[in-house]
Amino acid sequence: MFSILTIAAALPFAVAGAVLLSPGAAYSADNFAVNLHAEGDEAFIDVKVTPDGGYITTGEVESYVQLVKFNKYGNLEWTKKFDGVKHSHTTYVDVNEDGYIFVSGYVSAGDPAPVKKSVWVAKLKACGTVVWEKLVTNDIISTRGLWPAATRDGGCIISSQYTCPGNSKDWTVFKLSANGALEWGKCYGTADYNMWSHVLETKNPDTGLVDGYLLANYDRYMSATGENDVVLIKIDLAGVIVWAKNYAPVPPEGLAVELDFLKDICRTSDGGYAIVGQSYSFKTQERRLAFLLKVDKDGDFSWARIFGSNIEAPAGHDFTYASVCEAENTDLILAGQNYNFNLVKNAWLLRFSPDGTLIDDRIYAGVTDDRFCNAAGTADNGGVAVGQSNSYGGGDEDAYIIKFDENLQIISGSGNPECEGIDPNSPCEAVEFVVGAANPHQIEMTGWFTMDWDSVIPLSWEYYYMCAENNDSDEDGIFDHLDNCALTPNPGQEDTDSDGYGNACDCDLDNNCVVGPSDFGLFKSTWFSVPGSSNWNPDADFDSNDVVGPSDFGIFKSRWFTNYPWY
């Protein structure tokens, strides 16, 4: 008979056979398309690839921030809703190399701080456990959190918009340490109203070391043209301006420089940046066209393209909710919404070469309005895109995620346009931008403080698979995209703690993302229990045979000192 001492003695030598996925490893990924429906209107606004090969998304459930984690097969692992934290369609997410997740939003007056609005920031472990939530605020200014960027030191930097003393609303960034402490904050802009900005951590391309941050958005008050232009500000690790530049398009003859809107920016492997936006400087029939702008590490112009589904199409916005990311082979993948194809707003993907050649584009044409809001490149040279769909799933505005291959298709050769998309043969033209010298001020913020906030509540989803590859890696009769233990046979799919992982592969009884001594204590306390016993814990019944016994110990032993995720 097994005794508790036998179990304790065996555990330190029980790492053989464990399923342990290390950050940075190369993963194969299944392609899929999923719609999620919850309480009303939902959307995914941003997505990042996590070190385990899965996907973390953020967006909206009604007016509040939510996070949803998918594994690499497309199966939903866990979800968090942050009650009282608002998104305003601009809530983004980032993840660091250790798998820690950062998300931002804002909290309105009296919830609980005595201010107009407070920036909210949360840090979570890879398995969804909240490490901390902070409100960063000042009692005399309004604020709105927008864009978090994970930093190499385990903390994050956040871009916001503040009313700085003596000025109108400025671009503002503040830096939080790994434990959520406020390190510094600075405002950048002019005496006039300035738009809030995206922020990225930057690296020296020669050394690979972090050397500062890049702010990016559109602004008219630092522009030489007097219209909205793309503006970039490079700052060092202490927030001191290194350089600032604005980018004014050169429109075709007969057209004036007009409003330009930056939508997204990403770092590129050559140390530079790719920027996507919309411009009224290139227009036909009062429709603004999309542009893709490439600059080098110093902000100098490299090339730019304008593109559309049909440049002579009726008036409208050809490419909105746009984003840009770099593919594994350094191509650029764009995601957004097409207004003019098929007279319906459609989700749209495009792929450009590093020199700006349009390689391919695909429209996923549903029966009504759909859109992509953001995309991220994946290790198989494809990508993942998220947004909102009215065509599929629950029938309302549902959150929408697809994983696609390097040809921008979900399942090639299926003959199903929902899974392959439609090629609209979009034109693409080279254009020029003039680089000017922006001259922002820099103001130290004072009177800031952070306060703790605890707002996580449960959230359940209905999810609908439009397209998925019907692989069954563990041959238990459950396809991988539906299987809560994709590599461990568990045809019953028991998940008694409802954490997204089935009992058969989940020995993390305390849900702290690692199987360790505290889990052993919980397992030991339920040894040889059965349903109805005072010490019964169904979570420890890994084989789901209604007794915690030797076979459960064998499963626990195989997972000893392994980290999330478990398959």
State pLDDT tens for residues 39-89: 777 889 999 999 999 999 998 877 788 899 999 999 999 998 888 887 665
Angle between helices 517-525 and 550-558 (to 10 degrees): 170
pLDDT-derived band at 21 (thresholds 50, 70, 90) equals very low
Q: Residues 6 or more apart from 33 whose CB is under 8 A from it?
A: 392, 400, 401, 402, 403, 410, 418, 419, 465, 466, 467, 468
pLDDT in tens, 425-462: 788 889 999 999 888 888 888 788 888 988 888 777 88
- Strands across the sheet containing 169-176: 143-150, 156-163, 169-176, 182-189, 441-444
pLDDT at residue 347, rounded to an integer: 92
According to DSSP, residue 251 is labeled P
Q: How many CB atoms lie within 10 A of CB 162?
A: 27
Band (29; pLDDT cuts 50, 70, 90): low
Report DSSP letters for 452-499, one per residue: E---EE----EEEEEEE----TT-SSS-GGG-SSTTS--TT---TT-S
Q: What is the pTM of this model?
A: 0.91
**Radius of gyration in angstroms for the set of CA atoms belonging to the chain, rounded to a whole number:** 25
Check residue 294 and give its pLDDT: 98
Is residue 422 predicted with pLDDT exceeding 80?
yes
Fold of 32-452: Methylamine Dehydrogenase; Chain H (2.130.10)
Spell out the domain ranges in the chain.
1-19+488-567, 32-452
pLDDT band for position 6 (50/70/90)? low
Question: Using alpha carbons only, what angle is made at residue 515 by residues 510 and 519, rounded to the nearest 5 degrees?
Answer: 45
In the prediction, which pLDDT does 415 show?
A: 85
Query: Of 550, 556, 434, 465, nearest to 505 (Cα)?
Result: 556
> Are 183 and 177 within 8 A, CB to CB?
yes
Average pLDDT over residues 461-466: 80
Kindly indicate the confidence band of residue 282, based on its pLDDT and cuts at 50, 70 and 90. confident
Rounded to the nearest 5°, which phi and psi values hold at 36? -120, 135
State the amino acid at position 16 in one-letter form.
Answer: A
CA distance 90 to 107: 13
Contact 47, 57 (CB under 8 A): yes
**pLDDT bracket for residue 9 (50, 70, 90):** low
Q: Pick the range with the lowest mean pLDDT from 1-5, 215-219, 525-529.
A: 1-5
440 residue type, one letter:
P
The pLDDT value recorded for residue 144 is 67
Please name which of 351, 397, 352, 394 lies closest in space to residue 371, comparing C-alpha atoms: 397
- Residue 400, Cα to own-chain centre: how many angstroms? 13
pLDDT tens digits, residue range 543-556?
999 999 999 999 99
pLDDT in tens, 110-124: 555 445 678 889 999
